[in-house]
């Protein structure tokens, strides 16, 4: 081939090749500009642009007086460089002495040396020393810095702090180290507290440095709002102290205390044991606020609602008499017994029944009079009005509604049991709200713990809570009568609440003892003991509920008197003093707490033997008749009585002279009347006997009618007239 031809073909070939290449380039450009442009733009921006998230500061939680209870602060994560630098062999800033490093870090991080060593032996360039080295506080970080360990560095971030540890932890809740809110206010108010994330985007060079004027977009973070709660730091401290002392002194499944203002529904203190430290969130498992999220059988504290309903409906007369001990009017059902083994206290007034916490009294009021004798179930109507069977609406998560349903079919025996707090489930916060309605004059208030929410920068109020009345439950007059009766429970003889009395302060309240129920059966020897009370009685500033769950003591049914009483009294007394509420000079002197005694068997003994046996038991025997031996006694043997009580021994069945009843209580009259088979038909007044229809010394026979007049207890026992004293000395049957 000629040279010219070769040059010609080469020119064609090169031209063709360039033409093909041109079309390839054009095609590629088309492909890049039209098909892959969006994808490539994203990749390009990743190269020369950088976007960062700006995390907001979580809002603080303060007590009602501005005390900081939760805040977000600096934290540090411990990072270990465990591999040499490939591109910088001279850089020795990595962990070389792994065992020595692990041994030095272990006590600071709360980890074992073996656990740390296992992380340092991993095949990686660097590792985080979790969990102990994850988001540690500045104090620990400074200790690690002081060690100056090669390869150990600290990465700065933030975490949630609770400066008082377990203080109100069940109310506050916590935020875990991943920044997730768990339980309490942290969870229920997470949207208000967490704020909104911000972001910014800037241009950078190949080394990642921001170019001058390279900021492209900026969205500031919005910090979380500040929340002020109703808890008072001082009152909460009294709660924590009392619970700590009880938990240290006694073994029990749990103990709870709630302090509220019954007039507003504000929760001033709330705590329980066992508890947890929210500053150590990695060890918290299955904790919940038992005060709002646990149903339990309340026992006799529930009787307050039944009592208020009976008074409101006009079916309660404090001076009316009934026979205590047992109730067996429900066909086909086991009899209902008073808590002293069904012994009761004889024929007593309903006021005495309230003081003794007689189950029979409340069955008569709740079952007979509010249920059977009404066109509708008035008992359940009032229980619903008091808020049982529905959530209170408190601003805490996990609230239960209790185990009571007005629409459910209950058998008569169940209704009778509910009247005295058995066979029904409630929550502690329901009890607080319900009894608060009695304390404040009849208004059911919605309990709450959030006082206000503010913008942290401007201080503007975002949310402000105010007291909210749910409904009126009973009249002011009814509430006053209930308060008076609850005052007698605490401050008068025979009252079950005497261990909870405070010198100088008018405390009113009610005890409760309930057997623990599991799988539909009551567990022998397992009890929930409680007391709910308020002070001052007629102008209550504080209401306190203390609940002891399954105390492990010698007499577990006495957990209220032994464990709950010191807790209640400590919190109430210190709180009232903190509120500068001076002791009330008109308040009753604290009654000497009654001690129980067992009635001995006197029948068949001589008079001197009978008196001796009674004295040994701490009782006072009054002999009736002129016989040589005891032929009848009241009360029966093994009855549980209060030490110092008078018991009666009959030595003949006929020809008994009626003793002088002046200065006796109504209970004394009823006991003597029952022993002599008299018909006590008329009782006027209240307090101590001032006159009797059958003169002292008169020989009585079975069936004789006796009427007595009493004076108010505030007047004290009346002086016995001289004529009656003389008559009494002639009647040997009245001698002790």
- Residue 270 Cα distances to 267, 273, 735, angstroms: 7, 11, 55
Per the CB < 8 A criterion, the answer to whether 465 and 245 are in contact is: no
HEC-encoded secondary structure of 442-482: CEEECCECEEEEECCCCCCEEEECCCCEEEECCCHHHHHHH
> Which structure tokens are listed for 151?
């390869």
Element (H, E) at 43: helix 37-48
- Nearest-angstrom CA–CA distance, 341 and 417: 16
Per the CB < 8 A criterion, the answer to whether 94 and 236 are in contact is: no
> Which structure tokens are listed for 583?
């002791």
Per the CB < 8 A criterion, the answer to whether 409 and 462 are in contact is: no
> Which structure tokens are listed for 251?
């073994």
- Nearest-angstrom CA–CA distance, 402 and 390: 7
Pairing state of beta strands 347-349 and 321-323?
A: antiparallel
Pairing state of beta strands 521-535 and 326-327?
A: unpaired
For tokens 């604290």, name the residue: 590
Pairing state of beta strands 646-650 and 620-624?
A: parallel
Pairing state of beta strands 450-454 and 461-464?
A: antiparallel
Q: What is the separation, in whole angstroms, between the first and last Cα of the chain?
A: 158
User: For the packed helices 412-419 and 378-385, what is the interaxial angle rounded to 10 degrees?
Assistant: 50
- Nearest-angstrom CA–CA distance, 364 and 330: 11
Of 300, 349, 358, 570, catalytic: 300
- Nearest-angstrom CA–CA distance, 310 and 169: 40
- Nearest-angstrom CA–CA distance, 435 and 431: 6
Asked if 608 is an active-site residue, the reply is no
Per the CB < 8 A criterion, the answer to whether 388 and 404 are in contact is: yes
- Nearest-angstrom CA–CA distance, 452 and 63: 10
How many CA atoms does the CB half-sphere of 424 hold within 13 Å?
35
Which residues, listed in sequence order, are joined to residue 450 by a DSSP beta bridge? Answer: 229
DSSP string, 105-169: HHHHHT--HHHHHHHHTSSSSEEE-TTTTSSB-HHHHHHHHHH--TTEEEEEEEEEE-TTTTTTH
According to DSSP, residue 533 is labeled: E
How many CA atoms does the CB half-sphere of 33 hold within 13 Å?
6
- Nearest-angstrom CA–CA distance, 567 and 590: 17
Distance from the Cα of residue 524 to its chain's centroid:
24
Distance from the Cα of residue 665 to its chain's centroid:
39
Q: What is the largest CA-CA distance in the chain?
A: 170
> Which structure tokens are listed for 678?
């008299």
Q: What is the dihedral of CA 24, 29, 34, 39, to 10 degrees?
A: 110
Element (H, E) at 428: helix 428-439
Pairing state of beta strands 521-535 and 542-551?
A: antiparallel
- Residue 31 Cα distances to 25, 42, 45, 368, 525, angstroms: 10, 16, 19, 91, 84
Instruction: Kindly list the catalytic residues.
Output: 300
């Amino acid at each position: 081939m000629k040279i010219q031809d070769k040059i010609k073909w080469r020119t064609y070939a090169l031209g063709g090749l360039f033409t093909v290449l041109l079309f390839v380039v054009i095609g590629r450009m088309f492909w890049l500009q039209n098909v892959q442009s969006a994808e490539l733009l994203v990749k390009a921006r990743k190269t020369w642009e950088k976007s960062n998230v700006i995390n907001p500061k979580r809002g603080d939680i303060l007590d009602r007086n501005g005390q900081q209870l939760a805040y977000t602060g600096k934290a540090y994560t411990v990072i270990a460089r465990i591999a040499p630098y490939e591109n910088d062999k001279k850089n020795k800033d990595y962990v070389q002495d792994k065992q020595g490093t692990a041994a030095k870090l272990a006590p600071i991080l709360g980890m074992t040396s073996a656990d740390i060593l296992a992380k340092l032996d991993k095949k990686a360039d660097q590792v985080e020393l979790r969990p102990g080295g994850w988001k540690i506080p500045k104090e620990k970080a400074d200790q690690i810095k002081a060690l100056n360990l090669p390869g150990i560095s600290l990465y700065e971030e933030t975490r949630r702090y609770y400066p008082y540890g377990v203080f109100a932890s069940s109310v506050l809740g916590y935020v875990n180290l991943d920044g997730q809110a768990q339980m309490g206010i942290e969870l229920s108010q997470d949207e208000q507290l967490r704020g909104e994330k911000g972001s910014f985007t800037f241009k950078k060079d190949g080394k990642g440095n921001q170019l001058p004027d390279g900021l492209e977009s900026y969205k500031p973070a919005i910090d979380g709002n500040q929340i002020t709660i109703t808890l008072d730091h001082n009152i909460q401290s009294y709660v924590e102290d009392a619970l700590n002392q009880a938990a240290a002194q006694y073994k029990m499944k749990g103990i709870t205390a709630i302090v509220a203002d019954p007039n507003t529904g504000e929760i001033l203190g709330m705590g329980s044991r066992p508890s947890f430290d929210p500053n150590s969130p990695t060890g918290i498992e299955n904790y919940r606020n038992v005060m709002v999220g646990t149903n339990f059988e309340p026992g006799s504290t529930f009787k307050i609602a039944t009592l208020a309903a009976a008074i409101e409906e006009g079916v309660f007369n404090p001076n009316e008499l009934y026979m205590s001990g047992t109730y067996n009017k429900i066909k086909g059902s086991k009899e209902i017994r008073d808590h002293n083994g069904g012994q009761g206290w004889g024929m007593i007034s309903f006021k005495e029944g309230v003081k003794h916490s007689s189950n029979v009294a409340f069955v008569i009021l709740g079952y007979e009079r509010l249920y059977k004798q009404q066109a509708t179930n008035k008992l359940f109507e009032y229980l619903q009005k008091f808020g049982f069977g529905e959530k209170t609406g408190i601003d805490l998560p996990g609230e239960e509604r209790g185990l009571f349903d007005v629409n459910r079919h209950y058998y008569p025996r169940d209704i009778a049991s509910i009247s005295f707090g058995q066979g029904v489930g409630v929550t502690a916060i329901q009890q607080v709200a319900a009894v608060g309605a009695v304390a404040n004059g009849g208004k059911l208030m919605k309990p709450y713990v959030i006082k206000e929410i503010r913008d942290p920068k401007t201080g503007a109020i975002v949310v402000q809570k105010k007291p909210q009345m749910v409904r009126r439950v009973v009249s002011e007059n009814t509430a006053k009568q209930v308060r008076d009766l609850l005052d007698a429970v605490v401050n008068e003889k025979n009252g079950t609440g005497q261990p909870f009395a405070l010198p100088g302060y008018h405390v009113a309240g009610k005890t409760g003892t309930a057997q623990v129920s599991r799988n539909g059966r009551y567990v022998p020897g397992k009890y929930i003991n409680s007391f709910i009370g308020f002070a001052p009685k007629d102008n209550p500033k504080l209401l306190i509920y203390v609940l002891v769950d399954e105390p492990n003591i010698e007499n577990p049914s006495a957990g209220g008197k032994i464990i709950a009483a010191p807790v209640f009294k400590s919190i109430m007394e210190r709180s009232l003093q903190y509120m500068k509420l001076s002791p009330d000079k008109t308040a009753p002197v604290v009654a000497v707490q009654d001690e129980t005694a067992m009635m001995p068997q006197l029948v068949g003994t001589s008079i001197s033997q009978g008196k001796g046996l009674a004295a040994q038991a701490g009782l006072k025997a009054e002999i009736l008749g002129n016989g040589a031996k005891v032929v009848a006694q009241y009360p029966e043997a093994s009855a549980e009585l209060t030490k110092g009580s008078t018991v009666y021994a009959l030595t003949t069945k006929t020809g008994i002279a009626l003793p002088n009843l002046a200065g006796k209580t109504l209970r004394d009259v009823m006991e003597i009347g029952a022993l002599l088979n008299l018909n006590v038909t008329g009782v006027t007044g209240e307090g101590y006997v001032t006159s009797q229809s059958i003169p002292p010394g008169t020989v009585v026979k079975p069936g004789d009618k006796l009427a007595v007049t009493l004076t108010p207890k505030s007047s004290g026992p009346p002086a016995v007239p001289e004529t009656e004293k003389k008559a009494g000395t002639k009647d040997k049957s009245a001698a002790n």
